[in-house]
Structure formats: structure tokens, C-alpha cells
Amino acid sequence: MRSLLLSITCFMVCFAPSYQQFPRRCATREALLSKECCPSWDPDGSPCGARSGRGFCRDVGEPTQPDGPQFPFSGVDDREKWPLVFYNRTCQCVGNFMGFNCGDCKFGYFGANCNERRETVRRNIFHLSRAETRRFISYLNLAKTTVSTDYVVASGTYQEMENGSNPLFANVSAYDVFVWMHYYVSRDALLGGPGNVWTNVDFAHWAPGFLPWHRLYLLHWENDIRKLTGDMSFFIPYWDWRDSSGCDVCTDELMGDRSPRDPDLISPGSVFSSWKVGLH
Ligand SMILES: *[C@@H]1O[C@H](CO)[C@@H](O)[C@H](O)[C@H]1NC(C)=O
Ligand SMILES: *[C@@H]1O[C@H](CO)[C@@H](O)[C@H](O)[C@H]1NC(C)=O
Ligand SMILES: *[C@@H]1O[C@H](CO)[C@@H](O)[C@H](O)[C@H]1NC(C)=O
């Protein structure tokens, strides 16, 4: 099973500049200088929802394994031992709670106390009704056009942020948060300004991490669309391409047909033809 999102993301990612997502509430000078990212959970006002037993703020443990030979950039790559370059205290959630402030439920759990277990079955995109298809595309478009409330992206390296005293962050849409996340883990990431970008330092592809990384990524994305739309039954449909001879999801009802005028462009009849790559 391959999710549709993968192909969209891949399409978007190829042209994306380098940015990385951070909880908005930790993108401050204070949080960067103290290296603590333990935002409060609004209903009880305590960091990590500690007062309600959702989690607690704790030191991020240093990994004990040395870097492998495929990672020769020790001390210069902001992603090394993530998130220790930026934060050394974050929320540790307990039970069925999850998220940067333990405000979310673990995947598969719902309800105010995150104790309602529910399975989601992802369906073949060609088995959706017309209304379901339209809803799916409209959710994507909503995510693309709504500024993320929870996350911002870094627009500079830690060094460029003067070790935290000069935060460099930008607002992006809820959809683009995921585009940047995918990009940042992959290659040409923020490694120290112009002319100092290493290619192919990729933590999500070409290795055993590929499947688990992307499965988790899609679960996060699905969860985010649910939060954005309030539709807790939302799932990412999949495209079963095994028997297709071409791109049979490339129609204006789905991911967009080719433009009749320029085969490199998406048809103007598709909502995706108005999507732009970038921060603005
Ligand atoms: C975390 O970072 C802060 C700020 O640099 C520092 O004062 C503190 O000692 C660090 N804590 C740990 C456990 O390394
Ligand atoms: C940031 O920290 C590094 C390592 O501690 C130090 O060499 C550098 O001078 C610092 N830069 C700024 C702008 O504070
Ligand atoms: C991002 O949006 C928020 C809320 O509208 C605003 O307060 C903030 O200044 C914006 N930040 C940047 C870097 O544009």
C-alpha cells in the first residue's frame, strides 16, 4: 500500500528550500536560551499537562551509540542527536498521551482522556464516493491555505540564530509544515548558510528507516488534518498503482491532470494548480 501523500510530498519536496518545524511556543529566545521546550497544556496550564498526569518535563537523554561512518558531520549538523542542538528538555508524555505538550492522543486513541480506542481503515481512493473524494481534496487545500497554529519552521541554522539569542522562524501552512519536515530529514538541510550545504545526508530514505519513518510521518499528517478539520474519521486514502499503466490518479477530481498547454504544469481545472511552493 502506498499513500497518495507520498507522491504529493515528493512532488512538493523536490523544489523546497530548507526549513524545519518547531513548536511555535518553543520558537522564542527564552526557550532557545534555556534549551527547554515544555509548553503548558492549556486546559490545566501546567507544562506537559503534568498536573493532569499527561506527562512531565525531563532532560533529553544523550544517545549512547556513536555516529555511524555514514554521518561524518559531527558538531556541525543541527539535526545531530535531535533535538539536542536546540533543546535539552522536552515533554515526556505518559499513557495514551502524545505531542509537544502532551495535548494529543496517541495514534488510535480518541476522546478527552485519550482512552477510546478506534481503528482506522485506509481505503482505496477509487472506492471513495464523489463526495468523499471532494472532501479529501478540500481538506488538503484547507491545510495548504491555513497557517499552522502549532508549528513554525526555522529559517536559519542554530549558528545563524546566534545560539538561540536571535530566533529565526517563519509561519507556514499546516500542509507545508509536513513538506518542510520531510525535506529537512532528507537532504540539503540547513547546515550552515550558503555554500555550506551537504547533500545526501538523508535520515529517511535509502536505509531501513524508510518504511517506519514514513509510516509515522503519515500518521502525524493524518492526525493533523483531523485536528484542523475536526473530522476525526478522516483517513488518508491510498493509491493502488500495481495494475495502472499510467498515473490514473492524475485527474482534476484527484491529484490533477496535465495542463493541455504545458505538460509540465498541472491542469488549471485542478485545485492544485494554484498551490505554490515556498513560504509566501
Ligand atoms: C541544557 O542547556 C542549558 C542551557 O544551555 C544548560 O544550562 C543546562 O545545563 C543543560 N542541561 C543539560 C542536562 O545538559
Ligand atoms: C555559539 O556557540 C559556539 C560553541 O559554543 C561558539 O563557538 C560561538 O561563538 C557561539 N556563537 C555566538 C554568536 O554566540
Ligand atoms: C506568525 O504569525 C503570528 C500570528 O499571526 C504572528 O504573531 C507572528 O508575528 C508571525 N511570525 C512571523 C515570523 O511572521
Whether ligand 1 lies within 6 angstroms of the CB of 81 is answered as: no
Q: Where are the beta strands (DSSP E) in the chain?
A: 20-23, 36-37, 40-41, 46-47, 55-59, 89-93, 97-98, 104-105, 109-110, 116-117, 151-154, 169-170
pTM of the predicted protein model: 0.86
Q: How many CB atoms lie within 10 A of CB 181?
A: 21
63 pLDDT tier (thresholds 50, 70, 90): confident
Q: For the chain, what percent of residues have pLDDT higher than 70?
A: 87
Q: Taking residues 149-166, report their average pLDDT.
A: 91
Tell me: pLDDT of 73 over 80: no
pLDDT at 185: 81
User: Which ligand sits closest to the CA of 170?
Assistant: 3
Closest ligand 1 atom to Cα of 34: 4
Give residue-wise pLDDT tens across range 7-25: 333 333 333 333 457 999 9
Q: Which protein residue has the closest C-alpha to ligand 3 atom 7?
A: 171
3-state helix, strand, coil in the chain (%, to 5): 30, 15, 55
User: Which ligand sits closest to the CA of 75?
Assistant: 2
Closest ligand 3 atom to Cα of 152: 1
Test site for ligand 1: of 35, 58, 60, 62, most ligand atoms within 8 A of the Cβ: 35
**Cis peptide bond N-terminal to 23, omega within 30:** no
Q: How many whole angstroms from 54 Cα to the centroid of ligand 3?
A: 29
Helix or strand run (H / E) with residue 215: helix 210-229
For residues 275 and 265, give the distance between their C-alpha atoms in angstroms, rounded to a whole number: 11
User: Which ligand sits closest to the CA of 167?
Assistant: 3
**Which residue type sits at 247?**
C
pLDDT at 190: 55
Give residue-wise pLDDT tens across range 28-39: 999 999 999 999
For residues 3 and 215, give the distance between their C-alpha atoms in angstroms, rounded to a whole number: 9
* Residue 72 or 45, more confident: 45
Q: Please give all residues whose beta carbon lies within 6 A of any atom in ligand 2, as ranges.
A: 162-163
* Alpha carbon separation from 205 to 145, 175, 183, 201, 268 (Å, rounded): 28, 21, 11, 10, 33
User: Which ligand sits closest to the CA of 163?
Assistant: 2
197 pLDDT tier (thresholds 50, 70, 90): low
Q: How many whole angstroms from 274 Cα to the centroid of ligand 3?
A: 23
Q: How many whole angstroms from 277 Cα to the centroid of ligand 3?
A: 19
